[in-house]
Structure 1
Amino acid sequence: MSSHTRPTQPDIRLHVDLDGYLRPHRSAKIEAHLRVEVAATGAPADLPAVELAVVIAVDVAEPLRAAVRHALPAALRALPDGISFIVLGGGPEPVGCYPRGGAEWAVADEDEKRRAVFAAGAVPLHRDGPRPAGYAPWAARSRALLAGRPLSVRHLLLITDGSSAPGETRLEEELDACAGHFTCDVFAVGADWTPDPLLTLAERLHGTAQFVDDGLGREITAAIRRLRRVHAPQLPVEVTVRPSVRQVALSEKAPRPHRLRGLSQPGGPRHWSFPTYQWEQGRRDYLLTLVADAHADPLETDLQFAMVSIGDVHAPVTARWHRPRRPPPHVPAGSDGVSTLKATAVMRDALRQGLTLWEHQPDAAKRYLGQAARLAVRLGEDWVLREIGLVADIEDAASGRVQLRPAVAADTLGSMILRAGSLPGAPLPDTAGPQQGPRCGHCDAPAGSEARYCIVCGEKLL
C-alpha cells in the first residue's frame, strides 16, 4: 500500500531462537521462532485520519436490513474528520450508496457525515434476483476504488450475511490481485453465512473475521480506531538464505494467525520478502521454516542459514549440524519457543476442525476437541477450554476426554469457528534473547556472531 508520505518507522527489535543442534540430511527442516517488538518511540499516538481510506461494504439481504439500520449511521457519525470513505450496497453487483453525484470518495467532516447518514438509511441491499457471485466482486470493486486513493492505510470493512456467497467462483484469484493493495476486516451478521470464505478473506488480506450479534456500529468504529494506531502500514520481513536452503516459509502465529506469501526478490532465489501490514505497538510471533540440503555442510560447526531483516534491523539464523549418532550436549532454551509456537498452531487448528466436524462427524470432532483441550491445559489457554465447554462436556481436560453435547444452537458453531480461526491471541512467553552480530568488512552486510562467511557476498568474515 503506497502513500504520499512515509510514516516515521517505529523502534523495532527482532529476536530469533531455535534448536541450534540439527540432524543433517538432504531435506533437513530448520524451524525458528521470530519475535518482533515494535515501540512507537517518537511517533504520534494516532495516524492522522487524512492518511486513511476505508470502504464500508454492506453485503446484506433485504430481510436483514434491521441488522444495519442503526449500526451503519452510528459508525458514519463516529468517523474521524479527514478520513476518506465510501459506502457500498448490494445489488446484482456492488453499487455505490455514498458519496453521490459521481464522486468516488468522500472526505469526512460534519456536513459529509450528515449527508452520508441520511443516504445510509436507504442503502441498497440484496433483493430477489441476481446477486454478486460470492465475495470476489466485493474485493474487486474495493480494489478498483482504493487504487485511486494512494494513502498510507487502505482498508475494506465488509459486513456480510452470506447472501452473496453461493456461486463463489474466483475468490482465490481475486485475493491474489488484491494482495498488497489493501487490508480487510469482516463482520458476519445473521446466521446463514459460511465461515471458511470469511476466514480466507481475513487471512489473505491481513485482517480479522468475527461474528457480530449486537453492537455492529461499535465494532466498525473500533476497527477504524485500530487502523489509526498503525505506525507502519506495510513492513516486509525479508529473509536471505545460504545456497543450501531450498525452501522458505513464514507464518504469523500471534497475535493473529496468518500464512504469509513470500515474494522472490531480484538477484536470485536466495532473497525472499514476506509483506506484512498494520503494525501497531506491541509484539508479533512468527514461525520461520527452512528446508536445507546438508550433504555438503560441515558437522559440529556453527553455520548461518539465513539473515532475517525488518526495516534496518537484522538478526541471523544460526545452527549446527550434529553428528547423527551423538546426542547434543544440551538443548538450547530457545527451542521451547519453537515448540510452543507449533503447539499453539496445532491447538487452534484442532479447535477449528472439531467445531467444523461437530454436526456431521461426531467421533472425529470429539478427537479434535480433546486434542485442543490437552494443548490448552499445557499452554494455559483458558479461552480454548471455555470455547470447548460450549459444545462439549469436558471430563478431563489434561487427558483430552470430552463428550459432545446432544444439541447446540444452529448459529453457535459458525461464530466459534471464526473465533478459532481469527481471534487475536496473546503473545508467546518470552523465550528469545537479543542477538547482536558484526557486519561484513567487504560488503557491510550484517552477519551472525558465530558466522565465518558472509551470506551476501560469500567472503570470509574478518
Structure 2
Amino acid sequence: MVTFSSDVNQNAYLSEGATDVHAVVTVKAVTDSAEIVSDGPAGTGAGPGTAEVIIIDSSGSMEGKKITEARRAAAVAIDTLPDGVAFAVVSGNSSARVVYPTSQTGLAEASAATRSAAKQAVHDIRAGGGTAIGQWLTLTRSLMETRPGAARHAILLTDGQNWESEDVFAAALARCEGVFQCDCRGVGADWRVSELRQIASLLLGSVELLRTPEQMADDFRAVVAAATARAVPDVTLRVWTPKGAAVRFLRQVYPEVDDLTGRGGDVNERTRDYPTGAWGAGTREYHLCVDVVPGPVGTRKLAARVTLVAGDTKLSEALVLAVWTDDTDLSTRINDKVAHYTGQEELARAIQEGIEARALGDDATAATRLGRATQLAAEADDEGTLRRLAKVVDIDDPATGKVRLRRDVDALDEMDLDVSSTKTVPAKR
C-alpha cells in the first residue's frame, strides 16, 4: 500500500502588479509507514500488472567483454523479476528481435521455469551489425501494448550511437511516449549522452554511465528491482489554474531536473495533466511557475491547485497561493527551497552548455559556463558535482567560479559530468 502527501514551499507575497507565482511542490510516497527519500528499491514484490522489457545492444561493437557482461547482466535482471511480472528480452542491432519469449507473441509471465528458459535464450545472443535504436524501441512498444494498464518499464543498454536519421529516430521515440518508461545505460565512451538523455527524458527514465562492462549486472539488478517495486502506474500531476492564469513552466527538480512543461495535456479549459510515470516509495519535487492576473493590494487568491492523480483517483493535493502587498519586506523575500532548485536548474544548464562549448572549441564560453557551474555547486554544498567538475577544470576559487580548462580530460570523466548534470541535491532543511 502506497500513501501520498503533498506540500508547498513558496513566498506567496507579490508586489503590486506582479504576475508570476513560484512554488516548489513536494510529493512524498510512503509504504508501510516508512518514508524513503529517493526513488529506489522498495520491497521484493511487484505491483499489480507490472511489465518489464530488457533491451540489449548486440551490435558489432559489443563483441568481446561487453556482450559477455551484457548477457550476464540480462540474466541477473531476469533473476530479479518477481513471480508474475510480464517480461521479454529484446536484442538490438541493425534491427530488433525478441530473444525471449520465442514461442508466443507478447510477454511471458515470470516463474522459475520461464526465468530459466529466458536465461538460456540470452546466453545465445551474439554481437554483429549496426545500431538502430528506434527499431529497438518500436519493437518494445509493440510488446508493451499487449499489457494495457500495467506499470510498463524497459531498461536499454548500448555502447554506441544510433545509425538512423534524426527524423526516423524521433518519430519512433515519439510513438513510445506514454506507452512505457525507459531507463537508459551507456557502457564505455562511444555513445552520446544527449541521445540517451532524449530517450530517458521523453520516456520518464534515467541515464547512467557504466564505465566498465563489469558494472552492468549490479546496475541491472538495482534498476529492475526499483521498477518492479513501483506499484502505482501512470501517475499524473494535474494542475488547475484560475481564469486568466497560465502555467509558465513545470519542472521536476528532484531527484533529477526534467522539464515537463511541453508534455501537459488538456483536461479542460483550466486544467492540464503532466505525466510522472509509475510510483513506489520516494520523494519528488516540482518547480511550478504560474502567470496570474494581478489583484489589488490586499487581495488573496488561489494561483494553482496541484493534484496527484492515478486514473480517476486523487492521491494528494496542494494549493499555491498569491497575496498582493505593498510591504516590500514581504514581497522581496525568496523562499529558500525555490531559490535552491532555481540554482540547481541553472547548474544543470551551465554544465551542459560548458561541455558543448568545449566540444566546439569555444574555450572562453566553456570556461565561463563551467566556472558558473562550479560556483553554483559550491553554494549548494554539492560535493559530488564539485568532484566531477575538478576532473574537467582546475578550480582556483569555487566561491567566485574561477576555473581553468584542463587539457588532459578523460572522455569518461567528461561524460560522467554530463550524465550527472541533471541529478540534484535536496534543499537543506
2:38 alignment counterpart: none
Change (3 A) 1:277 1:41: same
**Structure 1 position 97 matched with structure 2 position 99:** yes
The one-character-per-residue Cα deviations of 1:10-57 (angstroms, maximum 9, x if unpaired) are: 2222111222222455x8321111111221247994443663211111
Structure-1 separation of matches of 2:305 and 2:127:
50
CA contact (8 A) 1:211 1:418 kept: yes
**Counterpart of 2:411 in 1: which secondary structure?**
coil
Contact 1:147 1:181 in 2 (8 A): yes
Gaps of 5+ in 2: 35-41, 309-313
Q: Are 1:319 and 2:322 counterparts?
A: yes
Distance 1:429 1:245, change over 3 A: same
Change over 3 Å in CA distance of 1:313–1:164 after alignment to 2: closer
Does the 8 A contact of 1:84 with 1:105 survive in 2?
Answer: yes
The letter of the residue matching 2:324 is W
Matched with 1:204 is 202
1:255 to 2:291 alignment: no
- Tell me the residue number matched to 1:457: none
One-letter amino acid matched to 1:95 = R
- Is residue 67 of structure 2 the alignment partner of residue 68 of structure 1? yes
Shift of 1:220: 0.9
Which residue of the partner structure matches residue 362 of structure 1?
A: 363
Q: State the Cα deviation string for residues 252-305 of structure 1 (Å, max 9, x = none).
A: 000122222211103x2x1111121232323211101112233xx322211211
Pick closer, same or farther for the CA change 1:52–1:276 going to 2, 3 Å.
Answer: same
Pick aligned residue for 2:178 from 164, 176, 180: 180
Structure-to-structure mapping, 1:381-420, within 5 angstroms: 381-420=382-421
Letter in 2 for 1:15: D
Give the alignment partner of residue 28 of structure 2, picking from 34, 37, 40: 37
- Whether the 8 Å contact between 2:47 and 2:230 is mirrored in structure 1 is no
8 Å contact from structure 1 (residues 254, 427) kept in 2 = yes
CA distance in 1, matches of 2:101, 2:420: 34
The match for 1:193 is 191
Q: For 2:115 and 2:29, locate their aligned partners in 1 and report how far apart those are by CA, in whole Å.
A: 34
Q: Give 1:439-458 correspondences, 5 Å limit.
A: none
> 1:60, 1:163 within 8 Å by CA — same for their partners in 2?
no
Asked if the contact 1:24–1:321 (Cα under 8 Å) also holds between the matched residues in 2, the reply is yes
Q: C-alpha separation between the residues in 2 aligned to 1:78 and 1:48?
A: 11
Quick check: 1:161 aligned with 2:159? yes
Structure 2 SS opposite 1:358: helix
Q: How many residues align?
A: 408
- CA 1:50–1:40 in 2, change beyond 3 Å: closer, same or farther? closer
Q: Partners in 2 of 1:103 and 1:24 — Cα distance?
A: 63
Provide, for residues 214-240 of structure 1, a one-character-per-residue CA deviation record: whole Å limited to 9, x for no partner. 320111111011113324223211111
1:20 aligns with 2:8: no
Give the TM-score taking structure 2 as reference length: 0.87
Cα contact 2:153–2:182 (8 A) shared by 1: yes
Structure 1 contact 239–273 (Cα < 8 Å) conserved? yes
Name the one with the larger strand percent.
2
Q: 1:335, CA displacement in angstroms?
A: 1.5
Question: CA offset at residue 136 of structure 1?
Answer: 2.5
2:307 counterpart letter in structure 1: S
**What aligned pairs does 1:122-137 form with structure 2 within 5 A after superposition?**
122-127=124-129, 132=132, 135-137=133-135
Which has the higher mean CA deviation after the structures are superposed, 89-98 or 219-228? Answer: 89-98
Q: Distance in 1 between matches of 2:98 and 2:342?
A: 44
Q: SS state of the match for residue 414, structure 2?
A: helix
Q: Which residue of 2 aligns with 1:440?
A: none
1:73-84 residue pairs with structure 2 within 5 A?
73-84=75-86
SS in 1 for 2:317: strand
Structure 2 distance, partners of 1:102, 1:339, is 53
Cα distance, 1:406 vs. partner?
Answer: 1.4
Asked whether 1:110 is paired with 2:112, we answer yes
Deviating beyond 6 angstroms after TM superposition, the runs of 4 or more aligned structure 1 residues are none
CA RMSD of the aligned region, Å?
A: 2.4
Change (3 A) 1:168 1:330: closer
Following superposition, the deviation at residue 147 of structure 1 comes to: 0.6
Confirm or deny: 8 A CA contact 2:5 2:315 kept in the other structure. no
Structure whose CA Rg is larger: 1
- After superposition, the Cα gap between the structure-2 partners of 1:76 and 1:222, relative to the gap in structure 1 and judged at 3 Å, is same
Residue aligning to 2:142: 144
Contact 1:28 1:293 in 2 (8 A): yes
TM-score relative to the length of structure 1 = 0.81
Give the counterpart letter for 2:317 in structure 1.
Answer: H
1:358–1:152 CA distance, 2 compared to 1 (3 A)? same
Residue pair 2:265, 2:273 contacting (<8 A) in 1 also = yes
Q: Match of 1:445?
A: none
Question: Partner residue of 2:37?
Answer: none
Q: Return the alpha-carbon distance in structure 2 between the equivalents of residues 102 and 24 of structure 1.
A: 66
Alpha-carbon distance change, 42 to 16 in structure 1, aligned in 2, over 3 angstroms: closer
Deviation at 1:124, TM superposition (A): 4.9
Distance in 2 (CA, whole Å) between partners of 1:24 and 1:160 is 54
Q: 2:399 & 2:33 partners in 1: Cα distance?
A: 46
Distance across 2 between alignment mates of 1:329 and 1:155: 46
| Offset of residue 111 of structure 1 | 2.6
Letter in 1 for 2:349: D
Give the drift of 1:91.
4.1
Change (3 A) 1:78 1:274: closer
Alpha-carbon spacing, 1:45–1:101, altered in 2? closer, same or farther (3 Å):
closer
Structure-2 separation of matches of 1:104 and 1:20: 51
Cα deviation, residue 312, structure 1: 4.3
Report the equivalent of 1:88: 90
